[in-house]
A and B are shown apart, each in its own frame.
Chain A
């Protein structure tokens, strides 16, 4: 049973890590874009 639960947990961990990574990249890009837009607005 340990191998079964480890396999399922590993699969979910991989998916969650990837989704978390996507969310972080999205937030970082949005922040960079906002900073750049603010800078362009000032100029």
Chain B
């Protein structure tokens, strides 16, 4: 498994480079917005990846509450952390796209505000995991995660349910998209998914190492008590 990781990392790097080439060179320039519309090829895949990771976090949290499985708990914390990284990309690239197109960096409409709230809730979840040391922390965190996940469908459907400044969805929203744009979008999403999977794998290795360290520290304190 250790040998497989660098190979997969190189393949993901090549895939990401190809996706970048599609986004910046191959995809046609949008007529109204011009080249700045190409932010779309990072903004939308990052959002979809974050939603997917938060959904996995939601399922893992329910599994943890039902079975108290340590693996489900580890999956929950890993997907929340990587999800926050992709959600941060959404929140940074969004205003950088909005400024030249809308003339403003930010507006407090439902889509943008609910995305910010989503990010804040998962950051709170990670802070709870990081700074709370009580035995009930994973249970509390799972409850927070389930609560936070309720915001995911609100973010997704907000542009259909409310009048917002944000554009309608490109797929399933009634509009049309150039096939080359759709191709670039889907390839970028696949590349982001590969990267997210690698990040989750790396983070899982970190989690295993942390568990080993905790066990070693417990052994050390037991040994210290025995010598007294």
Contact = CB atoms under 8 A, between A and B. Distances in A.
Interface of A: 1, 3-4, 6-8, 10-11, 14-15, 18-19, 22, 25-26, 29-30, 32-33, 36-37, 39-40, 43
Contacts of A19: 199, 202
A36 B96 CA distance: 47
Contacts, number: 75
B217 to A, nearest CB: 6
A36 B220 contact: yes
A29 B206 CA distance: 8
A29 B96 CA distance: 37
Given A3-B39, A36-B220, A15 B212 contact: no
Contacts of A39: 220
B4 interface: no
A18 B216 CA distance: 27
B96 A6 contact: yes
A21 B174 CA distance: 41
Chain B at the A interface: mostly helix, strand, loop or mixed?
Answer: helix
A26 B206 contact: yes
Nearest to A39: B220
B88 interface: yes
Nearest to B195: A15
Contacts of A10: 89, 92-93, 96
Nearest to A32: B213
B139 to A, nearest CB: 25
A40 B212 CA distance: 14
A29 B213 contact: yes
Given A11-B92, A36-B217, A40-B220, A4 B35 contact: yes
B223 A40 contact: yes
